[in-house]
Structure 1
Amino acid sequence: MSFFLLVAVSYACGCINGAYYIGHMKYKQDIRTLGSTNAGARNAGRIFGKKAFIGTVVIDAFKTIIPLAIGRIWLDVSEIVIGAMALAILIGHIWPLQLQRSGGKGVVVYLAAALVLAPLALVVCGLALAVLRACKRSFTEAGFIAICTIPLTLLCQTAYSLAGLFALLLMIVLVAHRKGH
């Protein structure tokens, strides 16, 4: 399968925005005009409730897991291609064309990509989050510190390509949060 086709399909998958479609179809409202105006799981949960939060997480996770799993397991693509696919999904999530480049901030996509590509690093991330929360850190602060452990764990595993990929994905997620996207 063509590199460009895989990247284009991955971007299209990334553009499927759980918060937007749940808000639009179930509540007849545009999440991008409510609360923080972010089309992500956290804002969906604040505005529409726990079910919308969970639904958004599930949609955003599966739109990431499915193409990456197909690429890695069925198509056996190279690390460069799988990295480009993960990057395209994240970019599609944060800057979806059909939503005028107004999507989510990418945390669920980042974590779902780790589930497929770096499961041990995701476990370390979860443990870090648990420890930081036990130390009475705010969930947001603890979460940001915890997600930073993924590329560091990959470096310790000498998975340098994946560490570089997750460092890049992390920078994009942090920029999306910083800009108040």
Structure 2
Amino acid sequence: MADILYIILGALVAYLMGSFITAIWYGRHYHNVDIRTCGSGNAGATNTFRVLGKKAGTIVMLIDIFKGWLATSLAVFLVYFDIIDKSQLDVYKLIYGLSAVAGHIFPVFERFKGGKGIATLLGMVCSIQFEAALVCLGVFLIVLITSKYVSLGSMISTLAFPLMIIFIPRFHTETPIIIVFGFAIFLMVVLTHKKNIKRLFLGEENKTYLIKKRSH
């Protein structure tokens, strides 16, 4: 019974943390705009970069990553205070992290209309397997630079996470549910990018130039 209580309370706190949508808050307080009415209409870092510039986009992205990491890491406190056994840590991290991502996608403070949760998801993975998260970030940047598509980079880098755990010994885990989580998250990312996938096939997806050529 106690375990269920800690799961519910921790998940609720993580969800509320995830429901703090940085892009909406930053846009309202510093630019007097609702980011959801501009650009692609997505309340995330990518749209913030496009609409409000690099400074705003960077701030939004870093805070969203941090909140994902912090919400997931709430489980560490339970181990520190001997509330749960260390062997349960990864499972609790998964529950809390997914709750934060769900909060970002369906925020209670914003009528359940949030972002796609990619930065928050990255923060979650940083808490669970930091080195794997760095590799996923590298995959994302490579795909973004070569293809110019943030959506494609997000989907491929998300898929890279469970594949690394399966095929690369360094990232093997003693908690098989993490592999299930990896593929489930990939499916979730694909579902939240349905419109992007359609635009990719139609050649209408917005391009993002991380490295811009200098005009002469």
- Scaled by the length of structure 1, what TM-score is found? 0.88
Q: Secondary structure at the match of 2:32?
A: coil
The superposition leaves residues 60-108 of structure 1 with CA deviations (integer Å, 9 ceiling, x where unpaired) of: 1111111222313x22252322211111111100111221111111111
User: Among residues 58, 67, 73, which one is paired with 1:69 in the alignment?
Assistant: 73
Q: Structure 1 residues 34, 137: CA separation in 2 closer, same or farther (over 3 Å shift)?
A: closer
Equivalent residue, structure 2, for 1:103: 114
The answer on whether the counterparts of 1:38 and 1:102 sit within 8 Å (CA) in structure 2 is no
Larger gyration radius, structure 1 or structure 2: 2
1:170 matched to 2:186? The reply is: yes
SS at match of 2:131: helix
Alignment partner, residue 156 of structure 2: 145
Q: Percent identity?
A: 26
For residues 95-151 of structure 1, the C-alpha deviation after alignment (integer angstroms, 9 at most, x for no partner) is 1122111111111111111111012222332343455467x3334334432221011
Name the stretch that deviates more: 161-170 or 18-27.
161-170
Q: Which amino acid aligns with 1:119?
A: F
Instruction: Give the one of 43, 46, 50 matched to 1:46.
Output: 50
Q: Distance in 2 between matches of 1:35 and 1:131?
A: 24
Q: In structure 1, how many angstroms separate the alpha carbons of the residues matched to 2:142 and 2:44? A: 25
Give the distance between the partners of 1:21 and 1:150, measured in 2 at CA: 30
Q: Any unmatched runs of 5+ in structure 1?
A: none
Q: Counterparts of 2:46 and 2:141 in 1: how far apart (Å)?
A: 19
> Structure 1: how far apart are the matches of 2:165 and 2:100?
20
Contact preservation (8 Å) 1:13, 1:89 = yes
Partner letter of residue 60 of structure 1?
D
The one-letter code sitting in structure 2 at the alignment partner of 1:174 is: V
**Aligned residues: CA RMSD:** 2.0
Is residue 10 of structure 1 aligned with residue 20 of structure 2? Answer: no
Residues 130 and 91 of structure 1, relative CA distance in 2, 3 Å threshold: closer
1:25 to 22, 26, 29: 29
